[in-house]
Amino acid sequence: MNILILGSGGREYSIGLAISKEEQEHNITFCPGNGATDLIGQNINIKDYNELASWAKVNKIDLTIVGPEAPLVDGVVDIFKQNDLTIFGPSAKAAQLEGSKVYMKNILKKYNIPTAAFVETSSQNEADEFIDAQNTLPIVVKADGLCGGKGVIIATSKDEAKEAVKDMLSGESFGDAGNEVIVEEFLDGYELSVFAICDGDNYVVLPAAQDHKRIGDGDTGPNTGGMGAYAPTPLVNDEIYQKIEDRVIKPTLEGMKKEDAPFEGVLFIGVMVVNGEPIILEYNVRFGDPECEILMPLMKSDVSELFYKGATKQLHNFKLEMKDEYGVAVVMASKNYPYSSSVPAEIIVDDIHDEELLANSHISYAGVTKEDDTLLATGGRVLLCVGFGEDIQTARNRAYALCGQVHFSGKKIRTDIAYQALKIQNK
Ligand code: AMP
Ligand code: GLY
């Protein structure tokens, strides 16, 4: 197939890498891709979606896969479908599940899907009433619109929560994205990322992953896009998966059909498991990054077939097979991440002589640029060292062994990826 992948991060690199390893050969194009994706396919840079659809027609693209949320919310799927192109992802309307937290919470409420008690409002008084009525702290305040993962404040006092509401409603903290806010109760549990690949009617659930969002070891410091992930996580069991299917995925797909916005694409379910019960924190409408970077290589079934069948309503004919192993991904970030950009730094990867490490690890490139054949670290999250093994400890040892072979000035990693899983396994 001729396959077009939209995006430029480690997530899109990992989708391309998995497809490039399939038995059947494919031609892969990234738009815009990064400084390393051109080793897997070609990079193009077309910003206008109508122009991109014309390019896809002329170049006989059989399948387009969309990585990030912004093009989905902006309607790239609608435009491609109007041009009779096959594209995997939700319509702009269905992408509101991520584009608007108010829309998402109202869908959860309307279809009785378990979520934190909340109020949605654009009135300070209404928010204050909800805050005053809470018996426990912290209290969570969220801006309605897309804020690049930064629109959530976990307030440790009622005054702080009210202040956060004020800053959002005034437009000071997040501009128009804060015109409406959600104030909700804090959920105390462990957080999982569950991905359902959906074709509007049917779905395939991938093994649950766990992300590490804070910059520092032990989950300290500011939130990031994610500093590492692993899968499958032993923090879920069949009972929890079943509850997620019955109480979350099925009613969401049924509900979205009733809303005239059938959900096609990746439903990323942010779950908090509280006393064995899955409660929904949020939906995203695309793969998580870094979760994607471990789930793609763990798939034994063809990734291109999964997405093609997802895009053409054939998921009832798809059999998911996963490799019988674990994956751990450690993000290597640049010096000033997540605060500001860092000066470009050359990336050097040592030759790896350990056969086992070579066969069971790889790099997924993200914020990199190529200049005269030199790979430079130019983004916040630069690359991921991904290790595999028959258990989490082995996979993790390999991911960290690979980290030791990769060098650039100012490189920064977390040293405790998968710690929660290892803690329960070592009990
Ligand atoms: P969101 O953008 O809604 O995923 O929120 C970002 C992060 O904030 C989540 O991944 C959670 O770690 C945390 N969070 C959001 N809502 C809550 C909540 N109600 N209780 C506890 N933590 C939350
Ligand atoms: N890893 C979390 C996200 O992609 O939003």
Whether 282 is in the pocket of ligand 2, judged by its Cβ within 6 Å, is no
**Terminal Cα-to-Cα distance of the chain (whole angstroms):** 47
The tokens of 366 are what? 């993200």
Q: Ligand nearest 152 Cα, by number?
A: 1
| pLDDT for residue 174 | 86
Confidence of residue 343 (pLDDT cuts 50, 70, 90): very high
| pLDDT for residue 365 | 98
Between CA 321 and CA 311 the distance in angstroms is 19
- Pick from 97, 193, 282, 296 the residue to mutate for probing ligand 2's pocket: most ligand atoms within 8 Å of its CB: 193
Atom 6 of ligand 1 has which residue's CA nearest to it? Answer: 152
The tokens of 308 are what? 């093609």
Average pLDDT, the chain: 96
Between CA 120 and CA 135 the distance in angstroms is 19
Are residues 288 and 173 both part of a single domain?
A: no
Q: Ligand nearest 225 Cα, by number?
A: 2
Residues 36-71: pLDDT tens digits?
A: 999 999 999 999 999 999 999 999 999 999 999 999
Residue 278 within any structural domain of the chain: yes
Alpha helices, H only, 8-48: 10-20
Q: Is the pLDDT of residue 85 over 90?
A: yes
DSSP string, 110-138: HTT--B--EEEES-HHHHHHHHHH--SS-
| pLDDT for residue 329 | 98
| pLDDT for residue 15 | 98
Closest ligand 1 atom to Cα of 149: 2
Mean pLDDT throughout 181-199? 96
- Pick from 131, 136, 152 the residue to mutate for probing ligand 1's pocket: most ligand atoms within 8 Å of its CB: 152
| pLDDT for residue 3 | 98
Are residues 39 and 143 both part of a single domain?
A: no
- Distance from residue 289's CA to the centre of ligand 2 (Å): 5
Task: Report CA torsion sign: 277, 281, 286, 288.
Answer: negative
Provide the domain limits for residue 42: 2-89
Beta bridge partners of 183: 119, 141
Residue 6's identity, in one-letter code, is: L
Are residues 308 and 199 both part of a single domain?
A: yes
The tokens of 227 are what? 């500093």
Residue 347 CB neighbours (<10 A): 23
Residues 108-152: pLDDT tens digits?
A: 999 999 999 999 999 999 999 999 999 999 999 999 988 776 788
Taking CA atoms, 257 is separated from 74, 224, 251, 262, in Å, by: 20, 33, 10, 4
Atom 16 of ligand 1 has which residue's CA nearest to it? Answer: 281
Whether 305 is in the pocket of ligand 2, judged by its Cβ within 6 Å, is no
Q: Is the pLDDT of residue 403 over 80?
A: yes
Are residues 195 and 230 both part of a single domain?
A: yes
Q: Ligand nearest 177 Cα, by number?
A: 1
Are residues 148 and 227 both part of a single domain?
A: no
Are residues 25 and 76 both part of a single domain?
A: yes
Confidence of residue 227 (pLDDT cuts 50, 70, 90): very high
> Strand 27-32 relative to strand 42-43: parallel, antiparallel, unpaired?
parallel
Whether 67 is in the pocket of ligand 2, judged by its Cβ within 6 Å, is no
- Distance from residue 351's CA to the centre of ligand 2 (Å): 31
Are residues 250 and 153 both part of a single domain?
A: no
The last residue of one of the domains, among 317, 335, 351, is 317
Are residues 205 and 165 both part of a single domain?
A: no
- Pick from 291, 295, 296, 417 the residue to mutate for probing ligand 2's pocket: most ligand atoms within 8 Å of its CB: 291
Closest ligand 2 atom to Cα of 149: 5
CA atoms within 13 A on the CB side of 260: 0
Nearest to 366 by CA among 395, 397, 337: 337
Beta bridge partners of 332: 383
Range with the lowest mean pLDDT among 24-33, 147-156, 179-188?
147-156
Confidence of residue 425 (pLDDT cuts 50, 70, 90): confident
Confidence of residue 328 (pLDDT cuts 50, 70, 90): very high
Are residues 275 and 261 both part of a single domain?
A: yes
Are residues 139 and 69 both part of a single domain?
A: no
| pLDDT for residue 176 | 87
Residues 266-312: pLDDT tens digits?
A: 999 999 999 999 999 999 999 999 999 999 999 999 999 999 999 99
Nearest to 354 by CA among 398, 315, 310: 398
Confidence of residue 172 (pLDDT cuts 50, 70, 90): confident
Atom 4 of ligand 2 has which residue's CA nearest to it? Answer: 288
Q: Is the pLDDT of residue 77 over 90?
A: yes
Beta bridge partners of 197: 204, 266
Confidence of residue 427 (pLDDT cuts 50, 70, 90): low
Whether 265 is in the pocket of ligand 2, judged by its Cβ within 6 Å, is no
SS3 label, residue 241: helix
Residue 368 within any structural domain of the chain: yes
Alpha helices, H only, 299-354: 303-311
The tokens of 387 are what? 């290790």
SS3 label, residue 343: coil
- Distance from residue 329's CA to the centre of ligand 2 (Å): 13
251 cis-preceded (ω within 30 degrees of 0):
no
Share of the chain above pLDDT 70, in %: 99
Cα 161 from chain centroid (whole Å)? 27
Between CA 9 and CA 382 the distance in angstroms is 9
Mean pLDDT throughout 325-330? 98
Long-range contacts of 72-78 (CB under 8 A, 24+ apart): 72/98, 72/265, 72/285, 72/286, 73/98, 73/99, 73/146, 73/285, 74/49, 75/49, 76/6, 76/49, 76/52, 77/264, 77/265
- Pick from 284, 296, 364, 381 the residue to mutate for probing ligand 2's pocket: most ligand atoms within 8 Å of its CB: 284
Are residues 170 and 263 both part of a single domain?
A: no
Q: Is the pLDDT of residue 159 over 80?
A: yes
Are residues 241 and 280 both part of a single domain?
A: yes
Dmax over CA atoms of the chain, in Å, equals 64
| pLDDT for residue 134 | 96
Q: Give the total number of structural domains in the chain.
A: 4
List residues near ligand 1 (CB under 6 A).
Answer: 116, 140, 142, 152, 184, 186-187, 191, 213, 270, 281-282
Q: What's the CATH code of the domain at 403?
A: 3.90.600.10
